[in-house]
């Protein structure tokens, strides 16, 4: 069974940094691209970033470009999101999601349960 | 970036009704369009990929159609367990965006 478990969320002050992690199991991690998708409280889904199987192709939403960095460690079956210069509008539940192939440009299935990031002073 | 316009934003229907949700892309995305269901407090779940392909294990009352810029998601006979918010998502040319979502309620 595919499992994605996010961690690293919490309360952080504006301008500070946070690093999210996603531990993957139940599939051959380095065969698949991975994504981060977020959902602000009471709002819709927003794609944040995606990374191909070998980190050769990476993309970001305009809202996080230059502040967030996605990475992966295939030896540890783990996905990461380094979030710098955090803003109040980054407050959201952050989901890790598996792509359906090595290229990140496709669909998300399955999703983890999410980790909550709250940016507030 | 490609914008996705999803409508309606909310919908109330009776059990057994046929329900339709539409998604319009700001430019041609071929069939690179997926549909998700999100129940309250849960992670989204993939229902339809590439506009019309039913994900394994998803009931056949769910279907999708369309290509280019106009797409439709249909529930042929609404069931109580279908109460959720539904999202479209496009993935053309390394750009990924979601529609605003449609909240579906039972009348």
Residue B39 has pLDDT above 80, yes or no: yes
CA distance to partner chain A, nearest, from residue B49 (Å): 7
Binary contact (B43, A95; C-beta < 8 A): yes
**Per-residue pLDDT band at B81 (split at 50, 70, 90):** very high
pLDDT in tens, B9-34: 999 999 999 999 999 999 999 999 99
pLDDT in tens, B45-80: 999 999 999 999 999 999 999 999 999 999 999 999
CA distance to partner chain B, nearest, from residue A18 (Å): 22
Residue B94 has pLDDT above 80, yes or no: no
Binary contact (B36, A45; C-beta < 8 A): yes
Strand partners, B87: B36
Contacts of B99 in chain A (CB under 8 A): 44
**Per-residue pLDDT band at A85 (split at 50, 70, 90):** very high
User: What is the spatial distance between Cα B99 and Cα B7, in angstroms, rounded to a whole number?
Assistant: 9
Q: Once rounded to an integer, what is the mean pLDDT over residues A76-99?
A: 98
Chain A with chain B: Cβ pairs closer than 8 A: 62
CA-CA distances (angstroms) from residue A19 to A22, A51, A84, B41, B95? 10, 16, 9, 23, 24
CA distance to partner chain A, nearest, from residue B35 (Å): 9
- Quick check: A18 and A9 in contact, CB under 8 A? yes
* 3-class DSSP state of B57: coil
Binary contact (A109, B55; C-beta < 8 A): yes
Residue A108 has pLDDT above 90, yes or no: yes
């Amino acid at each position: 069974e595919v499992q994605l478990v996010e961690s690293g969320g919490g309360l952080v002050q504006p301008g500070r940094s946070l690093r999210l992690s996603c531990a993957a199991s139940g599939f051959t991690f380095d065969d698949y691209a991975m994504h981060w998708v977020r959902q602000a409280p009471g709002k819709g889904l927003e794609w944040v970033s995606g990374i191909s199987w070998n980190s050769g192709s990476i993309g970001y939403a305009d809202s996080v470009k230059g502040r967030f960095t996605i990475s992966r460690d295939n030896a540890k079956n783990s996905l990461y999101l380094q979030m710098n210069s955090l803003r109040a509008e980054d407050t959201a539940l952050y989901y890790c999601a598996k792509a359906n192939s090595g290229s990140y440009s496709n669909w998300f299935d399955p999703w983890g349960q999410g980790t909550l990031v709250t940016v507030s002073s | 970036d490609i914008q996705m316009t999803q409508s309606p934003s909310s919908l109330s229907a009776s059990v057994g009704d046929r329900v339709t949700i539409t998604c319009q892309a700001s430019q041609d995305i071929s069939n690179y369009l997926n549909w998700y269901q999100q129940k309250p407090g849960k992670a989204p779940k993939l229902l339809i990929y590439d506009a019309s392909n039913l994900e394994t294990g998803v009931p056949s009352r769910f279907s999708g159609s369309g290509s280019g810029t106009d797409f439709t998601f249909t529930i042929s006979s609404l069931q109580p367990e279908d109460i959720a918010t539904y999202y479209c998502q496009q993935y053309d040319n390394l750009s990924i965006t979601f529609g605003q979502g449609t909240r579906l309620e039972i009348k």
